[in-house]
Copies of this chain bind each other. A is one copy, B any other.
Amino acid sequence: MIPKPTDAELEILQVLWKSGSATVREVNEALNKQQGDDSIGYTTTLKFMQIMADKGLLTRDESQRSHIYSASVRENDVQSAFVSKMLNSVFRGSAMQLVVQALGTSKPTNAELKQIRALLDEEIKNNQ
């Protein structure tokens, strides 16, 4: 069972999903680059990554002094877990309502909308 990542953990996972693997320092710098307002201390990032390794969210290679971390959960699985939780807790299980909100909240371009429609058409075809 995948432990549900917290907000801070998600930010670290984002970095590692993008880069594949990284040291604590690299992750810390990536986090501070995007959010320049209040910077995150090095040991804060370290602590999180240690906790996440304990939880099984990350694995690490300790053969070098600077441990090298990588995500041990797939982005897709985490996304799926969050979606199903939110479906129950916020949308009463209605995927349609979730889709409506997703389309309303972020204004997708026509190209994206058509991409989604193509996906729907395929889904409908497969269902028949």
Binding site for B on A (CB under 8 A): 7, 10-11, 14, 76, 78-80, 82-84, 86-87, 89-93, 95-106, 108-110, 112-117, 119-121, 123-124, 127-128
B119 touches A100 (CB 8 A): yes
B116 touches A99 (CB 8 A): yes
Q: How distant is the Cα of A115 from the Cα of B123 in the complex, in angstroms?
A: 13
A103 touches B95 (CB 8 A): yes
When A115-B96, A120-B120 are in contact, do A104 and B91 touch as well, CB less than 8 Å?
no
B95 touches A124 (CB 8 A): no
Q: Which of B87, B92, B99 contacts A99 (CB 8 A)?
A: B99
A110 touches B87 (CB 8 A): no
Sample 14 A-B pairs with CB under 8 A, ordered by A number.
A79-B91, A80-B101, A80-B104, A83-B102, A95-B103, A96-B115, A96-B116, A98-B102, A99-B119, A102-B102, A110-B124, A113-B124, A116-B120, A117-B121
Residue of B nearest to A106 (CB): B95
